[in-house]
A = this chain, B = another copy of it.
Amino acid sequence: MVTMKDVARTAGVSVATVSYAFSKSSKVSAAQRERIYSVAAELGYAGPNIAGSSLRSGRIGAVGVIVPDSPVQALEDPSVTLLMKGIAEIGNSADIALTLFPASRGGAPDSPPNSLVLRGLVDGVVIHNVPDGHPLVEAIIARGIPAVVVDSPRSAGLPFVAIDDRNGAYLQMDHILKLGHRRVGIIVDKLGLDSDCRMVTAEDVGAATERNARERLAGYFDAARDHHLPVGELSIVVAGNIDRAAGAEATRILLASAQPTALVATSDVHAVAAWQVLRERGLSVPDDMSVIGFDDAPVAELLGLSTIHQPIVEKGRAAATILLDRLGGGTRTRSLMKTSLVVRGSTARVRES
C-alpha cells in the first residue's frame, strides 16, 4: 500500500506538506501542490487513507440512512428508494458516500451492543420512519451523533423533515367522502411492533406506537367527523409490511368482513396491491370500487391511481442538506413539506345501488 510517506519521500517534502496539499490548505504553494499531485498519480496514490484520516480528524466522509426493518424489506418500498435518491443527490455533490443501515441488525444475536453507526462508520445519519423510542435512535441521541429524522420518530431535539400527515390523510378521506362514499375500508401501515395483518379495533388505535399510522388515522377521523360519518363505521385493517403481499392480504381481510365501496390506503404500494386483488375478483376500479393511495410513487402515475402527493425526493434533499449543515456546525432544524391531492382515474362518485 502506498502512503503519504512514500509520496513525501519521492517528492522530497515532508509528510505534513503532502497532507496540507491534499487538504487544499493555503499553507502550500500552487506549484508545490501540482508537483505533489503528479508524484501521487505516478505512484498510484489515491489520496489520504480514510481510516488514518478519520482516526485523526474524526470525519469519515459518509452519511448513513437508517431504514426500518431490514434493508431487504426497505428496498421494496419506493418511498425509501426515492428518499435515498434525494439524499444521494446532495451527498454526491459534496463527495460524501451514502451507507444503508437496517434499524434492526441481522448479525449474531448474542453480540455485545454494537452498531456500525455507533462505532463511527458514518459522520451522521438520516433516520427514516423508525418507531418512537427505538433503541438505536436512543443510542444515537445519547452519543450525540448528528442525525436528521424524516417522518418519524419526532424525538427530543432531533431536527426533522416531514409532511403534515394528519392533513394529508384528511385530504385523502375528504376526497372519498365528497364522492359520496359511506362504507369506506382503510388499509393502514404498521401500528406498532407486531406486523401481522388483521382488523383494527379502537383499542389498537389507542395503543399505536407508530407515529405515521396514528397521525393518518387521526386525519381520517377528522374528515369522517366533518362529513358526519360515525368513526365506528370505518373498517380498518393493518398491513404488516409495506409490500404488495401484505397489501393483498389486508385487502382480502377487509373484503371478507365488510362491504366497502371505497378503499383508502396509507401507501401507494398497498393501494396497488388492493387494485390487483380487486381485478382478480372481477371488480372494476373505479366503477365497483374507488381506490386511493398515498405518496404519489411513480407507479401511481403509471396506473392512474388517485393519491396524495408528497415530495419524497425533496424530503431526501432537505434531510441531507440539514445534515450536512449540522456536520459543518450549522443549526438548521426542520423543514415541513406540502402534500396535495392528485385525482386520477381510480376514484369516482359512489354508484347508486
Contact = CB atoms under 8 A, between A and B. Distances in A.
Contacts of A71: 84-85, 88-89, 92, 98
Nearest to A102: B92
A113 interface: yes
B47 A51 contact: no
A92 B176 CA distance: 41
A47 B99 contact: no
Interface size class, chain A: 35 or more
A97 B106 contact: no
A97 B116 contact: yes
A139 interface: yes
A31 to B, nearest CB: 15
A93 interface: yes
A99 B62 CA distance: 9
A142 interface: yes
A94 interface: yes
A75 B297 CA distance: 13
B92 A46 contact: no
Contacts of A116: 50, 61-62, 95, 97
Interface in A64-105: 64, 70-72, 75-76, 81-82, 84-85, 88-89, 92-95, 97-102, 105
A12 interface: no
Interface stretch (A154-162, A227-235, A298-306, A325-333): A298-306
Chain multiplicity (copies): 2
Nearest to A121: B50
B75 A84 contact: yes
A270 to B, nearest CB: 13
A89 to B, nearest CB: 5
A41 interface: yes
A281 interface: no
Interface stretch (A52-60, A186-194, A203-211): A52-60
A133 interface: no
A120 interface: yes
A352 to B, nearest CB: 30
A276 to B, nearest CB: 7
Contacts of A303: 302-303
A252 to B, nearest CB: 18
B143 A46 contact: yes
B95 A97 contact: no
A272 interface: yes
9 contacts: A44-B143, A47-B119, A55-B55, A71-B85, A72-B92, A75-B85, A97-B116, A100-B100, A276-B302
